[in-house]
Amino acid sequence: MFSKDIGIDLGTANVLIHVKGKGIILNEPSVVAMDRTTRHVIAVGKQAKEMIGRTPENIVVIRPLKDGVIADFDVTEIMLKYFLDKLKVKGFMTKPRILICCPTNITSVEQKAIREAAEKSGGKKVFLEEEPKVAAIGAGMDIYQPSGNMVVDIGGGTADVAVLSMGDIVTSESIRVAGDVFNQDILQYIKRQYKLLIGERTAEALKIEIGTVSPDGRKEEMEIRGRDLVTGLPTVVTIQSAEIHHAIKDSVNHIVAAARNVLENTPPELSADIIDRGIILTGGGALLHGIDQLLAEQLRVPVTIADNPLDCVALGTGIILDSLDRKSGRRKKTG
């Protein structure tokens, strides 16, 4: 049996795996549940995520990636190995080539950790690519022409902003403000405002169901349950969309500022292209209500959400893997 080339979007919130010739065949949360004492793995992915905030003391639920990089190397390796074994991408005598994505400004030590985790999980040869570049390719942008393309990729751990031309990044910025920070903002707001303790999953549900970045955006409400910090008893409260806007607005402004910085540092010829072509939004954060309009107003440039914002990085890995083969094929012919 032959191994297959695979592309991995190793996200803080989710792992997506693209297998050459098959497309995206895995999309699971980046979560592992383990026995605290024996380090025995109890669940990985969706099953493990469902356990967050609901486990007895002897079980710990770990999110091994933080801010787009590996926070727990051993658990990341366990998680990747589990997913690769589940997909049966390793051949009897062969291992797959793996293309894996990382944020733009991570250190060489962090890059090495990602590479080693992929190798130990069963990769023969591991390639690293910068996330906004891969996201832009997956969103259908032609970044190989001498013209400016701008992408804002808002994931779980990082927001990556980049201007690309001639197949590479010209200017970029990566900030550790994204989906996870929004969740924490909401959680802390509810705690301050209502003296109510809620879990991360409830905060995320509020963000998705009724969240907005605009004070004039959604006008929706949602009932949530949590523990009253004063009485210690379970309590129900109703939250409005405007409150979510208030909770996350400072963090959203950090992303707007990062995009503005990148534009300010972009050569004028490429800036002119971006005015014509606009900005593409990718990642889960692109689905936050009103984020495209807010960026368009603040940056005075058209902003479009990619067709499949959650899948762009994984789709991009597939396109890059194909081009690797074409390049090696050309080298063989000319050699």
The three-state DSSP-derived secondary structure of 54-122 is: CCCCCEEEECCEECCEECCHHHHHHHHHHHHHHHCCCCCCCCCEEEEEECCCCCHHHHHHHHHHHHHCC
Q: What pLDDT band is residue 326 in, cutting at 50, 70 and 90?
A: low
State how beta strands 159-165 and 149-154 pair: antiparallel
Residue-wise burial string across 88-112, b where 16 or more C-beta atoms lie within 10 A, e elsewhere: ebbeeeebbbbbbbbbbebeeebee
Which residues is 160 bridged to in the sheet? 153, 174
Is the C-alpha dihedral spanning 284, 312, 131, 52 positive or negative? positive
CATH of 6-134+312-334, one of 3.30.420.40, 3.30.2350.10, 3.40.50.2300, 3.30.750.24: 3.30.420.40
54-75 average pLDDT score: 93
**Model pTM above 0.85:** yes
70-129 pLDDT, tens digit per residue, is 999 999 999 999 998 888 776 656 788 899 999 888 899 999 999 999 888 888 889 999
Q: Given this model, what pLDDT does residue 242 score?
A: 96
Q: What is the C-alpha separation between 183 and 204, in angstroms, rounded? A: 5
Q: Given this model, what pLDDT does residue 1 score?
A: 40
Q: What is the C-alpha separation between 322 and 43, in angstroms, rounded? A: 33
CA distances from 119 to 35, 78, 122, 257 (A): 25, 12, 5, 37
Q: Given this model, what pLDDT does residue 80 score?
A: 92
226-281 pLDDT, tens digit per residue, is 999 999 999 999 999 999 999 999 999 999 999 999 999 999 999 999 999 999 99
Of 154, 123, 113, the closest CA to residue 6 belongs to 123
282-314 pLDDT, tens digit per residue, is 999 999 999 999 999 999 999 999 999 999 999
Q: Given this model, what pLDDT does residue 332 score?
A: 37
205-221 pLDDT, tens digit per residue, is 999 999 999 888 899 99
Q: For 310, phi and psi rounded to 5 degrees? A: -75, -25
Of 251, 94, 259, the closest CA to residue 173 belongs to 259
36-57 average pLDDT score: 94
Does 323 have pLDDT greater than 90? no
CA distances from 138 to 149, 151, 288, 308, 328 (A): 13, 11, 20, 9, 21
Question: In percent, how much of the chain has pLDDT > 70?
Answer: 94
Q: For 308, phi and psi rounded to 5 degrees? A: -125, 75
Annotated binding site for ATP: 12-14, 156-158, 204-207, 284-287
51-57 average pLDDT score: 91
End-to-end CA gap in the chain: 29
Maximum Cα–Cα distance across the chain? 76
Q: Given this model, what pLDDT does residue 7 score?
A: 94
Q: For 152, phi and psi rounded to 5 degrees? A: -120, 110
Strand order across the 196-197 sheet: 196-197, 221-228, 234-240
Q: What is the C-alpha separation between 34 and 230, in angstroms, rounded? A: 32
130-174 pLDDT, tens digit per residue, is 999 999 999 999 999 999 999 999 999 999 999 999 999 999 999
Cβ atoms of 13 and 155 within 8 Å: the answer is yes
Annotated binding site: 12-14, 156-158, 204-207, 284-287
Q: In the chain, which residues fall in CATH 3.30.420.40?
A: 6-134+312-334, 144-305
Q: What is the CATH code of the structural domain delimited by 144-305?
A: 3.30.420.40
State how beta strands 159-165 and 23-29 pair: unpaired
Of 55, 59, 20, the closest CA to residue 37 belongs to 59
Q: Given this model, what pLDDT does residue 325 score?
A: 65
